Structure 1
Amino acid sequence: MQQGTALPDGAAEGDVRPLDIATMRDSARRLLAEDAEPPMPEELSTLTLTLRGHMMLLIPAVEDATRGLPKDDIPRACALACVGEARMRLNLEPGRTLPAGIAHAQRLARSVNALCDHVENLGGEHR
């Protein structure tokens, strides 16, 4: 028995929208900029979920961008290593304190930036 996945309203099968790399980088910058203010607890939760969502979109985009590359290609290996680390970070839980939650979100933000770099460097779809 095959299971289906529901598509968003108005989306047709095969309807792939380009990634909004600029917005994803802006989300990461909110935590990583040199002059970034620490987020409030309510904002941190939203930001963490946003970064996780970005990663869930970026991981398959990076994997797709590596598909045509030779198995021994160094950029391919680097991109797939980044995907592995991003998947590992998605499985981690933030700490219970605000500083631990911020540190967790910063690690997610660094993964978002790295995945965006790989999408751009490998010529993946984005806008």
Structure 2
Amino acid sequence: MAHRSAPPATAAERDQRPLDIDVMRACARRLLAEDAELPTPDELETLTLQLRGHINLLMPEVEQVASRLPYDDIPRYCALACIGEARKKLSLEPSPGLHGGIAFARRLSRVVHALCDHLENLGGGHA
């Protein structure tokens, strides 16, 4: 017996879902707080995947909002530079061991915060 599931969302449907910036920032704060509790290896793997996912969702949103600005606009340039840095970070892999993974996840956390800042500063933030 074949199982049926809902059809995948179209590109237009995906674009209509607002980003939850507060959730993304909360995820990023998990490792950046001064009193942050070190995650277990399984928690770290999950957190790293979440951060990568947030970055992949944020980049096109920031790029779309930045593209509406004049070509020589400084906030536009800064936002696009941040996207370039985010792509570089996503192409990297963590150093071996728990501490290498935590350091990598912290870098991704900073990228999430920066992209959220650019999105909000350029007027594209969603609740």
In the alignment, the residues of structure 2 paired with residue 101 and residue 13 of structure 1 have an alpha-carbon distance, to the nearest angstrom, of: 33
Distance change >3 Å, CA 69–CA 42, structure 1 → 2: same
In the alignment, the residues of structure 1 paired with residue 72 and residue 11 of structure 2 have an alpha-carbon distance, to the nearest angstrom, of: 33
* Residue 79 of structure 2 is aligned to residue 115 of structure 1: no
- Mapped contact 2:62–2:79 kept (Cα < 8 A): yes
TM-score by length of structure 1 reads 0.90
Deviation string for 1:25-66 (max 9, x for gaps)?
Answer: 000000101111111111000000000000000000000001
Q: CA RMSD of the aligned region, Å?
A: 1.3
Which ranges of structure 1 fall in alignment gaps of 5 or more residues? 1-7
TM-score by length of structure 2 reads 0.90
Ranges of 4+ aligned residues in structure 1 off by more than 3 Å: none
Amino acid in structure 2 at the alignment position of 1:14: A
Which ranges of structure 2 fall in alignment gaps of 5 or more residues? 1-5
Amino acid in structure 2 at the alignment position of 1:35: D
Q: 1:11 aligned to 6, 9, 12, which one?
A: 9
Aligned residues: 120
- Identity rate of aligned residues, in percent? 62
Question: 1:95 Cα shift?
Answer: 1.0
* Residue 78 of structure 2 is aligned to residue 41 of structure 1: no
SS state of the match for residue 14, structure 1?
Answer: helix
Distance change >3 Å, CA 69–CA 29, structure 1 → 2: same
